[in-house]
Amino acid sequence: MKTEGSPKMTVLHAPVGVRSIVSSLVAFFIVASSVTFLLDQGQEAQVQMAVEHGRQEAQASEECNWSRGRWVYDNISRPLYSGLKCAFIFPEVACDKYGRKDVMYQHWRWQPHGCDLPRFDATKLLEKLRNKRLVFVGDSVNRNQWVSLVCMVEASIPDDRLKIRIFNGSLISFKALEYNATIDFYWSPLLVESNSDNPIIHRVEYRIIRADRIEKHASVWRDADIIVFNSYLWWRKQKDDMRMKVMYGSFEDGDARLDEMEMIDGFEIALKKLTEWLGENIDKNKTRIFFAGSSPTHSWASNWGGEDSNKCLNETEPIYKIGYKAATTDYSLMAKAKSFFKTLEPKGIHVQILNITELSDYRKDGHPTVFRRQFVPLTKEQIANPASYADCTHWCLPGVPDVWNEFLYGYLMYK
């Protein structure tokens, strides 16, 4: 029944479906605005992170003294590769393959004081080396570093058809075919020509160098874009009265002369000849030159409070004392090398020292000891006394030389 006298209030009700759509649209715009805001914030954060990362890299290149720091146990980001999976590893440094059960030595990361090392990126390094040639020149410790770098980069090339290794006498080449990049090792333990130039047949205790002959070796590295020299181990005395011979002239010309001298004097002669060659032949606009610091041995356990008869056998942890320097580690050879290479600076040729001595000095645990291939059958006496043949000179891989190559990577990419 209608009521005539009182006005009717009309309330408009939207249909339920329309109300739902409107509510949903409002909610959508609110959420979308929130997400956009959050994404903007996230992008800003990412940009900020990238900027901070760039700042860290710039700091690494300009301010950071990478050689001073400490070893930090890190089983998350270390090792950088698997020694058991690296097809190019050498048997004298493949410690886990040859029975070493403790693997802590693979999980230590070098942490410089107050800054970080640039994070190693194998793909970026290979791009840097595209159409280029990097050559390691030196002794078996330098070969140790070469093997390390090859293992660090080859894992980023999953297709075995795109990576090869070639042996050619004193020269070993790793080639990343997709990048046309070559990483070589050339055996030249005394830098100049010597009686130890055969990588297989040589006498460590009897050394003769030719004072004025380097071209045979230099012809191999002449066209390189990056050269990493190393020559310390063969200048160390095996015993207190050890001396060496230096040959002047040649038997062919009838003016050959042999002079006997101290090992350090022979080192200076070799450095002088190398420096002369670099000054006369290197294209400073093309070739970058590095000289690796001395790699310490750990054959005298009394340096860290142990028994010398044990050498570095059964050591499983680094030396933790900050600033530790073994009494038997000779830092003078690196200083001598620096003084020679400084004479090249007026010509615009810079030789960068890879100062890896102190960081390596801490790592008494990093050597193969008995966990390596033995190329000469062991005697009964050696088997009875494992420390007598323990290798406390070379380094297990993965391990300490990986950090040497992180230094090299940092210099190549950021300095």
What are the residue numbers of the active site? 140, 391, 394
Contact 116, 409 (CB under 8 A): no
Per-residue tokens: 286: 């093309």
What is the Cα–Cα distance from 204 to 194, expressed in whole angstroms?
A: 12
Contact 352, 289 (CB under 8 A): yes
SS3 content of the chain, % helix, strand, coil (to 5): 40, 15, 45
| Interaxial angle between packed helices 400-414 and 140-154, expressed in degrees from 0 to 180 and rounded to the nearest 10 | 70
Chain-centre distance of CA 334, in angstroms? 18
Q: Side-chain half-sphere of 2: how many Cα atoms within 13 Å?
A: 4
What is the Cα–Cα distance from 342 to 140, expressed in whole angstroms?
A: 26
Neighbours of 77 (CB within 10 A): 10
Residue type, 308: D
Contact 341, 386 (CB under 8 A): no
What is the Cα–Cα distance from 113 to 64, expressed in whole angstroms?
A: 8
Instruction: Please give the backbone phi and psi of residue 228, each rounded to the nearest 5 degrees, phi first.
Output: -120, 105
